[in-house]
Amino acid sequence: MDFEMGDVLWLLGIQRPHGRSSFYIPCPDCDPPNKRDGHLNINLIKNCFRCPKCGYSGGMLDLYSRFSGIPRDLAKAEIEYRLGIREDPPQSGDITVSKPKTQIVVLGRPPDVDEVPAPKEFPLNDINTRDATYRALLNKLSLASDHKNNLLSRGLTELVIVANQYRTTPVVGNKAIARQLLDEGYYLSGVPGFYRDEKDDQWTFVELKRGILIPVCDHMGRIQGLQVRRDDAIKRKFRWVSSAGMLDGCGAEGWVHIAGPIREEMLLIEGPMKADIIYHLSGISSFAVPGVNTLKQLDILLDTARNIGVKRFMTAFDMDMMKNHNVQNGFRNLAYMLDSHNFPFGTYLWRPDPEYNGLDDYIWKWCMQSILPMAA
């Protein structure tokens, strides 16, 4: 097309953060009206959008149609007309779009928009390289006492906390850490979270809000990427460590975390930390998706799951699924996906309780009452 997502945002009056190629705006499907920020991610590089909460997604024409009220089949023509790319206004029945007073003809780009070229990103590096770099990074970090106490209160032991390599996000010294890793021979390019600072051309690690870093591992125990559980967040508490949109940065891909050895029957749950806790408390091995509406990497993994010994799944999503239509929609998509890969599956249900919404909390309750012994 002769226009880009930045042009569409300009026409819709949606302000984009200066220099950012990926950012969030309120989602028209699941965020309340007049909310300042929201869940709908706009990607200027890929010219698309997606809401990880409800799954609403699409391209430039879908976005323009939704926010302008214009039918999608007229969206392209109207955008081109308003940008001065075409002369005649689109028409459909009684709908006629008025021509703007000032015609803009600059290759379809508004002249008064301060365009910032998207920083060049590195493609994702291989799993072994990422694993080595992340382990070296985590070895240079520590776990704050409040984060350790939080993990202990969830049923983990000190031994498991150390083995799982949970860490507190670095507050200072990110460039020094990156420099040390480079000096030690580790690759930073293509490893999500690392990028080159445009001001001094030095490698650094992304600045994160304070929280617990969680390694997300594959079936061989290799670290695919990192999540952070943010201390001060009420919504979207878990975020991927990513340097997408930054110079020589790299984005995360929503990997599936595997806790425990591969078995014929695997638990399918939402959240890597929950999967770690459930495996420690019960010995049940799990596949953990980052969200019930984030299933792309699971779809890829299911292609090989049977080859590594998986024969069936038991799903165990939080009990707010019983009243949350977004989770219900995601679960239906999951059921269809498992069926399309010919995997039999069942579902664990337990008494809905605000205190025990997740299976990890429910199992820990019974462990505390000495009904279910903890696995070694």
The b/e string for 173-185 (b: 16+ C-beta within 10 A; e otherwise) is: ebeebbeebeeee
Residue 116 lies in a domain: no
Q: What is the pLDDT of residue 375?
A: 41
The pLDDT-based confidence of 343 (bands split at 50, 70, 90) is: very high
Q: What is the pLDDT of residue 171?
A: 86
Q: What is the pLDDT of residue 366?
A: 67
- Of 240, 272, 292, which residue sits at a domain end? 240
The pLDDT-based confidence of 371 (bands split at 50, 70, 90) is: very low
Residue 103 lies in a domain: no
DSSP state, 36? S
CA distance 371 to 366: 5
- Residue 133 host element (H or E): helix 127-139
Residue 119 lies in a domain: no
Residue 143 neighbours by CB under 8 Å, 6+ apart: 161, 166, 167, 168, 212
My answer on whether 234 and 267 are in the same domain is no
Residue 248 lies in a domain: no
- Residue 16 CB neighbours (<10 A): 17
Q: What is the pLDDT of residue 111?
A: 40
> Can you list the positions of beta strands (E) in the chain?
22-25, 40-43, 48-50, 57-59, 91-92, 95-96, 167-168, 194-196, 203-205, 211-217, 223-230, 238-240, 257-259, 265-270, 286-289, 312-315, 345-347
The pLDDT-based confidence of 119 (bands split at 50, 70, 90) is: low
Q: Which 3 state secondary structure label does DSSP give 197? A: coil
- Segment 214-220 mean pLDDT: 96
Q: Which amino acid is at 71?
A: P
Residue 16 lies in a domain: yes
Of 130-139, 329-338, 348-357, the range with the lowest mean pLDDT is: 348-357
Maximum average pLDDT range among 8-22, 127-141, 291-305? 127-141
- Segment 127-139 mean pLDDT: 96
Domain that holds residue 177: 127-240
My answer on whether 44 and 132 are in the same domain is no
Maximum average pLDDT range among 8-22, 319-333, 338-352? 338-352
Phi, psi (deg, nearest 5) at residue 214: -120, 115
Read off the CATH number of the domain in which 330 is found.
3.40.1360.10
Q: What is the pLDDT of residue 170?
A: 94
My answer on whether 15 and 85 are in the same domain is yes
The pLDDT-based confidence of 370 (bands split at 50, 70, 90) is: low
Read off the CATH number of the domain in which 81 is found.
3.90.580.10
- Segment 48-75 mean pLDDT: 87
Alpha helical stretches, state H, 164-306: 174-183, 272-282, 296-305
Residue 282 lies in a domain: yes
The pLDDT-based confidence of 369 (bands split at 50, 70, 90) is: low
Least Cα distance to 237 among 131, 328, 150 occurs for: 150
Maximum alpha-carbon separation in the chain: 76
Q: What is the pLDDT of residue 112?
A: 43
The pLDDT-based confidence of 109 (bands split at 50, 70, 90) is: very low
Q: Which residues pair with 240 in a beta bridge?
A: 227
The pLDDT-based confidence of 262 (bands split at 50, 70, 90) is: very high
My answer on whether 262 and 364 are in the same domain is yes
Residue 198 lies in a domain: yes
Q: What is the pLDDT of residue 309?
A: 94
More confident residue, 301 or 10: 301
Q: What is the pLDDT of residue 352?
A: 61
Convert the pLDDT of each residue in 347-356 to its tens digit: 887 766 656 6
CA distance 231 to 147: 9
The b/e string for 324-341 (b: 16+ C-beta within 10 A; e otherwise) is: eebbeebbeebeeebeee
My answer on whether 210 and 296 are in the same domain is no
- Of 73, 96, 119, which residue sits at a domain end? 96
My answer on whether 42 and 14 are in the same domain is yes
The pLDDT-based confidence of 19 (bands split at 50, 70, 90) is: low
Q: Which amino acid is at 333?
A: N
Q: What is the pLDDT of residue 92?
A: 53
My answer on whether 159 and 215 are in the same domain is yes
Q: What is the pLDDT of residue 141?
A: 97
Q: Which residues pair with 212 in a beta bridge?
A: 168, 229
Contact predicate 314/346, CB 8 Å:
yes
Q: What is the pLDDT of residue 15?
A: 77
- Segment 326-355 mean pLDDT: 81
The pLDDT-based confidence of 104 (bands split at 50, 70, 90) is: very low
Residue 298 lies in a domain: yes
My answer on whether 278 and 318 are in the same domain is yes
My answer on whether 134 and 234 are in the same domain is yes
Q: What is the pLDDT of residue 256?
A: 96
Nearest-5° Cα angle at 268, 263 to 271:
120
Read off the CATH number of the domain in which 211 is found.
3.90.980.10
Provide the pairing of β-strand 265-270 with 312-315. parallel
My answer on whether 235 and 268 are in the same domain is no
My answer on whether 362 and 262 are in the same domain is yes
Q: Which two tokens stand for residue 288?
A: 């953990």
Task: Share the mean pLDDT of the chain.
Answer: 83
Number of domains in the chain: 3
My answer on whether 363 and 290 are in the same domain is yes
Q: What is the pLDDT of residue 106?
A: 32
| Whether the predicted pLDDT of 34 surpasses 90 | no
Q: What is the pLDDT of residue 62?
A: 92
